[in-house]
Structure 1
Amino acid sequence: MHGFANPARFLRLARWLTPLCLFGGLAMAVVACAWGVFFAPADALQGDTVRIVYLHVPTAWLGMGGWSTIAIASFCEIVWRHPLAGIAARAAALPGAVFTAVCLITGSIWGRPAWGAWWVWDGRLTSMLVLLFLYFGYMALESAARGQAEAGQGQSRMASIFGLVGAVNIPIIHYSVLWWNSLHQPPSITAGKSAMASEFLIPLLIGVVGFSLIFGGVVLARMRAILADAQAEARLRRKAMAAQARARAAAAPNPDDEELW
């Protein structure tokens, strides 16, 4: 694993893996959504409104998956102090927040005809809203830590610690429908079994894989952009230091001139 944590090796791997994930995931997501909207049957109880599940479930999965990525990368950064882990956590924050927001929006759209309300303070909905706020807090802390490092005040680990602590919310989201009396339906897919018919399950699984590949491609692209910015900034810093050194050398008195006097 430490070999793949080498930035140069990572960039070589990510250069071809990024478009593969993005375009492959986009194709699978389009197929899954089209299959679910145009070919899958309507639900016996909810009718056509159930078709939003092919977008809602993958985004819910990736909202939690994004924070799991942050937590794992934060742990690696704290334990092994490798900067690439911190870059991975930083890259996963924004797409994770976007998927969480889409999950909440599609859930509200689905809840309006199913529950008769756009929003209820249900355990699952509330914990997902908390997750969105955690994403905002992480991005703010991470931005403040970068500003502190750029000002020469040392590297703060607060964002990494926050990423680990915030992972407590992930099992709360998962088990909320079991722990509390909830309007939200219980999990339809559990380890080794599914309560969904294959007509619904197959396009849903394709959609989950497709959107997961899109998430991975976006994270890889953001990591490459962050590394490119860091390399450009380091290059500019070296040029500025070299220019300052030349200016000091030009302004310094020449000993040979002093000997002439």
Structure 2
Amino acid sequence: MWQAFVRWFHKWSSPKWFYEMSRPWSFWLGWLALICIATALVWGLAFSPVERLQGNSYRIIFLHVPSAFLSQAIYMTIAVAGAIGLVWRIKLAFYAAKQCIPIGMSMAILALATGAIWGKPTWGAWWVWDARLTSMLILLLLYLGLWALHNAMERAESGDRAAAILALVGVVNIPIIKFSVNWWNTLHQPATLKVTEAAPMHMSMLIPLLLSIFGFYLAFLAWMLMRTRLEILDREKKARWAQQEIRNLEAQ
């Protein structure tokens, strides 16, 4: 069993193998993500009932919650991929980590923007220096730092290692984001979705929210696979198979 896993792991850590095998996955994941997100947004925005205290303003959760979840999950993905690259010297882990950065950055921006839109009618302000909001802003700054490190290095390999180290150091911010509403008195509401407790939401609100979260994660996987495939072609362009693939793409 373990040997089979090792063989599978080594196959997928090969840039050429990953490039070839990920092509259909990105296509089907992208379409499935589009269906899930479209269904969730139509359901949540048009058919879910009005919330008792917040009225219609709560409907922003169908964008805000998935983007906030995903921005943290992507950062953890970058940190894990960076650790794999540093420890086992797997090039593909660095390629994927680099291409996750702009995706995570866009999710952090979306989470902060939708949070501000939600905060204005709820708190009466677009922004407050709340513990949750501040730690999310730090997450965005970490993403910007990772991207700047990659662009500042002359050699891509040096940028890979520097960004991986920064990502591992910045992991400390993730539990701060998660538990900030428990550790400090904040305006931000506690977590609505918990593994250990039933969600205090009507099913007509909960189902589209879960569907939106699922769709966002699928969209991330599809987006990451597509970007990583382009990164592989750029980094492996001296390889014969990559040169042939580039010629095929240019001929299309």
> Which consecutive residues of structure 2, in runs of 5 or more, have no partner in the other structure?
1-8, 244-252
Considering only CA atoms, is the larger Rg found in Structure 1 or Structure 2? 1
**CA RMSD, 1 decimal:** 1.6
Alignment of 1:230-249 (within 5 A): 230-232=235-237
Note the alpha carbon deviations across 1:56-113, whole angstroms, 9 max, x for none.
0000011101101101101101110100000111010001000100000000000000
Contact 2:149-2:159 at 8 Å conserved across structures: no
- % identical equivalent positions: 44
2:249 corresponding residue in structure 1 = none
Amino acid at match of 2:58: V
2:44 corresponding residue in structure 1 = 36
How far off is 1:210 after superposition? 0.3
2:167 corresponding residue in structure 1 = 163
Provide closer, same or farther for how the CA distance between residues 47 and 81 of structure 1 changes in structure 2, counting only shifts above 3 A: same
How far off is 1:144 after superposition? 2.5
User: TM-score w.r.t. structure 1 length?
Assistant: 0.85
Note the alpha carbon deviations across 1:112-156, whole angstroms, 9 max, x for none.
0000000000000000000000000001112223x2358xxx676
1:197 corresponding residue in structure 2 = 202
How far off is 1:9 after superposition? 1.8
Contact 1:29-1:211 at 8 Å conserved across structures: yes
Alignment of 1:204-215 (within 5 A): 204-215=209-220
2:155 corresponding residue in structure 1 = 148
How far off is 1:207 after superposition? 0.2
Report SS of the residue matched to 1:183. coil
Report SS of the residue matched to 1:67. helix
Q: Distance in 1 between matches of 2:234 and 2:160?
A: 20
1:180 corresponding residue in structure 2 = 184
Contact 2:99-2:227 at 8 Å conserved across structures: yes
Q: Distance in 1 between matches of 2:165 and 2:206?
A: 37
Report SS of the residue matched to 1:188. coil
Work out the number of aligned pairs and report it. Answer: 232
Q: Distance in 1 between matches of 2:140 and 2:27?
A: 27
Provide closer, same or farther for how the CA distance between residues 233 and 117 of structure 1 changes in structure 2, counting only shifts above 3 A: farther
1:218 corresponding residue in structure 2 = 223
Contact 1:189-1:196 at 8 Å conserved across structures: no
Q: Distance in 2 between matches of 1:110 and 1:159?
A: 33
Contact 1:22-1:218 at 8 Å conserved across structures: yes
Amino acid at match of 1:125: L
Q: Distance in 1 between matches of 2:159 and 2:127?
A: 41
- The match for 1:115 among 123, 127, 136 is 123
How far off is 1:27 after superposition? 1.1
4-13 or 210-219, larger mean C-alpha shift: 4-13
Provide closer, same or farther for how the CA distance between residues 56 and 88 of structure 1 changes in structure 2, counting only shifts above 3 A: same
> Which consecutive residues of structure 1, in runs of 5 or more, have no partner in the other structure?
239-261
